[in-house]
Structure formats: structure tokens, C-alpha cells
A and B are shown apart, each in its own frame.
Chain A
């Protein structure tokens, strides 16, 4: 049986840091074991139910899976894929990290942007990619998301964005920090035009992404059980000097604290998005 059952992550962020490895069962079909209920479910079955365990636990999904889940089939047009990170500060080891991330995620950066339809409503879209350096935000990620908001501004489109991120990418230093300002300014301009922005916060959404565009939407949705916060758990624990309460930084707690509009399961997500989009006639104030 799989030894992976016994490898407990040190914290939720770490648990989210890599894909749950499929476990080879006797039946030969790959299975995933739920960290909540410990039940193993064949991957094919999970895929047919948006990677949600029968107990309700939401497994990590990559950006392409999310696109298939949320966007009307055949309507997604990827944009800005030619914008990629390099190593602006000549940070040691960073080119190797980028290479590993590219190989592991089969994406060239930590966000996929574009346009597409959701329930027939045209949208500008971004999907952050957890398999790429934990969705960390460097200049390329910031630039792609900024252009997504600019494109939406020009075309009078709503933006629907899925966040998952460990925060700013420290290998690009201050330039990563500046992405928070750049994207925020683009969000503001889009908002001032009366256009809708819906953010869907998925596990984990932390650091500089939480302190910028994840928390700047008109409507903020979150997936059940997602870790949502600013500082890392260990830092908060050190600062506070005691054990953190149950449910700390969990979407359900953050909703109670008043920072999320709704927690929406994946089975309900597309319906919810379509309803919200339908209530915001395209173009908003500008029509």
C-alpha cells in the first residue's frame, strides 16, 4: 500500500505545494487518497466530478482543468502566452527553478490568460497555475494579468479570475512587489469603467496576491477549504506565540470574518458564475 498516506504535510501551504500523487492500487487504475476522509478514489472518477472527493474535499486542480470546468467548450482563446519570466536580477538558481517549473507544469508561466465565454457571456479570464512555482507572481504573471484587465477595459468585458498563489516571487525582488501595484492600478481602471470583476479564490491564495488583486474584486468567491490569508501560518504562530485556532485562514473562517462573499463548491461554480454574469449586462456603465 502507498506510503504516501503517512507523509503528512507540515502545513496546508506545503500540502498544496505539489500535486497529490496518484496512488497505484491493485486494480491498476490510479487513485487519489483524500487527506480529509482517507478514502481512495479512482482518478477517472474524480475527474468526472471536478476533482472533488465524495466527502466534499476539493483536490488541487491545474489551470487547464479549471478552464475546462468554467469556460464554455471551444470558446477559450489564450492570450499573452509569449510573455515569460527571465531573471532580471540574476538571482542565483532562478533559471533552474523556472526550467523545473516549466517541465513539471507544462506551462511557461504561473498564469494562463485569455478570453472566452461563460454561459454565453464573453469574459476576460485568468487562471493561476499552482504547478508553476506555487503560482508565485513575478513580472510575467503581473504583466499577463495587467494586460487581461486592460483588454477587458478596452473591450468592455467583465473579468473572471482564479487565484492560487504563494505570493510575490522573491527571485524577482522589488520587481515582483511592483506587480501588486501595477495589477491593482489596472483593476482600478477597469472598475472605474463600471465593469465587473469576479475573483475565485482557490487553495492557497496568500501573500502579495491576497494583498492585491485577490481582494479587489466586486464579488469574491472561494472554494471550500481553501487557505486564504496574507502571512504564512508559521509566521503568525511565531508572532502570536500560541497555537492558532481551528479553521485559521480557511475559506469558511474568512467568510465569517467578512472578507469573502460566498463559498461555492465546484459543482455549483459555473452555475453561480453564469447567474452573476447575467445580472451584470455587458459593458456596465459604459453602454
Chain B
């Protein structure tokens, strides 16, 4: 039992490690010709959400990625991957653009949770996530979301209402941080490891619950064969999804199960 308890929380801690590849590592190794597109056209540009166009095996796609940064300085500049409303609205703009040009969308998710500062609330963080959810629900282009590290709550879901949700072997996906859960339930954030075990938040749990469709193994993690096989998997899945009519209806059915 103790081992299992430690297991879930150890997974959370590992997923948070700054040595894991971040979204920009995936962007430069899985895709080619990435062109970053900035701004939400509402007055802001959020560096924690990197969006743009890229080629995946020669095919143009829209990439929406949460970037945490590696060094302390990068992490601070990226708000530790906690996306502001401006970031979700930039993603929204690029989703609409993808729809216009019939371009598949690939989301790379890595966040402890959405931004929770004063300005985030004042600029409508809840509304920004909500709008992305209804937008994603209606897209007729393929959407694949890959949780590459932390899948923290609504902040992650705002980029993960997808046809296919994949999760890295060492990533987690949860409704609340284990610390937050322990604080609310037991008034004791130190009980985070118990909370982590109760929350069923590991990649395996996400797969078992049907929340994730596929676990991406971390063999040769961060090396060329790892990125090559992820590229191949994404490319193949996008080809499959492109053949399917009524993607938004199927996406509806996918989430209707829960």
C-alpha cells in the first residue's frame, strides 16, 4: 500500500521535474518549419502558451503548446506554465484559424493549473477556458492533445477537449493538485501523497478511466527515437481522423461517455 501511495505522488513529482523535455523541445524535434504566431488580438500575448504553424511529416498543422521553460529564468518568464487568459484566447484565435484552413490541431499540455493571479481573475480566466471548451467541441478538424508533463485541472482541459488524448508514461492528469486536495480534505498539504493515490491521477489511471486513449512510452526519452516515434504516431492518427466524417459528433460522443 505504501509503495502505491508513494507511487502516485512520486509520479507527480517526476512530472514536475524541470529536466523533463518541455513543449519547445517537442516542437523542435517532432515538427519542422515551426512559425510562432503571437498575440490574442485582444491586447495581450502570453509566453506560457506557444502557438503557431508547423509541418508534421510535411503536413501543415496548428500547434498549441504550454511551455514551462527549463531554467529558473525561463520558468519565471513562462509563468511556470500557468496560462493566463491571454494565452487561452491566443489558442482560441488559432483554433478558429485552423478551422478556417481545415488544418489539424495538436495540443501539448504541461501545466500545474491555469494562472491564478489577480490579473488572471480580472481578465476572466474561467471564461477564457470555458470559451475554449465550447470552441474545441465544435471544431470539424482533427484535434489531438498530448499531456507531456502536468495535466493540471481546468487549465489542462482548456486544451484537451480532443478527438484523441494521449498521455506520457510519466505525466499525470488530475482534477486538483494533490496538495490542494489534501488541504481541502484534511487541512494538511503534507498529506499530498495520500491525496495523490486517492485521486487516480497517473497515466495508467487516465487510460483505465478512458480519459486518455493512449500512453506514450518514455523509452529513449528526449532522444531522437522518442520524438521520431511520437511524430509517426501523431501523423498516422491525424491521417485516420481526417478520413472520419463528423468529427465533432464523435468528439461529443467521446466525452458523453463520462
For B116, what are the chain A residues with a Cβ–Cβ distance below 8 Å? 230-231, 235-236, 239
Task: Decide if A177 touches B181 in the complex (CB within 8 Å).
Answer: no
A48: interface (CB < 8 Å): no
Distance in angstroms between the alpha carbons of A180 and B161 in the assembled complex: 10
Say whether chain A's binding surface is mostly helix, strand, loop, or mixed: helix
What is the distance, in angstroms, from B29's C-beta to the closest C-beta of chain A? 29
Distance in angstroms between the alpha carbons of A187 and B133 in the assembled complex: 10
CB < 8 Å neighbour of A181 from B118, B123, B157: B157
For A92, what are the chain B residues with a Cβ–Cβ distance below 8 Å? 198
For B209, what are the chain A residues with a Cβ–Cβ distance below 8 Å? 173-175
Task: Decide if B255 touches A188 in the complex (CB within 8 Å).
Answer: no
Distance in angstroms between the alpha carbons of A44 and B176 in the assembled complex: 41
> Within B187-230, which residues are at the interface with A (CB < 8 Å)?
198-201, 205-206, 209, 211
Q: Mark B2-33, 1 if CB is under 8 A from A, else 0.
A: 00000000000000000000000000000000
Which range contains the number of B residues in contact with the other chain?
Answer: 35 or more
CB < 8 Å neighbour of B198 from A89, A142, A208, A259: A89
| Among B120, B129, B137, B180: residue with most chain A CB under 10 A | B137
Say whether chain B's binding surface is mostly helix, strand, loop, or mixed: helix
A184: interface (CB < 8 Å): yes
What is the distance, in angstroms, from B224's C-beta to the closest C-beta of chain A? 32
In chain A, what residue has the closest Cβ to B251?
A185
| Among B130, B198, B255: residue with most chain A CB under 10 A | B130
In chain A, what residue has the closest Cβ to B209?
A174
A182: interface (CB < 8 Å): yes
Task: Decide if A176 touches B118 in the complex (CB within 8 Å).
Answer: no
Distance in angstroms between the alpha carbons of A175 and B157 in the assembled complex: 12
Pick out which of these stretches binds chain B: A19-27, A72-80, A115-123, A212-220: A212-220
Distance in angstroms between the alpha carbons of A172 and B181 in the assembled complex: 12
What is the distance, in angstroms, from B93's C-beta to the closest C-beta of chain A? 18
Q: How many A-B residue pairs have CB under 8 A?
A: 158
B138: interface (CB < 8 Å): yes
B117: interface (CB < 8 Å): yes
Task: Decide if B138 touches A230 in the complex (CB within 8 Å).
Answer: no
For B130, what are the chain A residues with a Cβ–Cβ distance below 8 Å? 184, 210-216
Q: Closest 4 A-B residue pairs measured CB to CB?
A: A210-B126, A184-B133, A230-B126, A231-B116
Name B residues whose Cβ lies closer than 8 Å to a Cβ of A: 114, 116-118, 120-127, 129-131, 133-134, 137-138, 153-154, 157-158, 160-161, 173-176, 180-181, 184-185, 198-201, 205-206, 209, 211, 251-252, 255-256, 258
Name A residues whose Cβ lies closer than 8 Å to a Cβ of B: 89, 91-93, 139, 142, 146, 168, 170, 172-182, 184-189, 191-192, 207-208, 210-216, 229-231, 235-236, 239-240, 244-245, 248-249, 257-259
Name 26 interchain pairs, CB-CB below 8 A, sorted by A: A89-B199, A174-B173, A177-B173, A181-B137, A181-B161, A181-B255, A181-B258, A184-B161, A185-B133, A185-B255, A191-B134, A210-B126, A210-B130, A211-B127, A212-B154, A214-B126, A216-B131, A216-B134, A230-B120, A230-B154, A231-B114, A231-B116, A240-B117, A249-B121, A258-B124, A259-B124
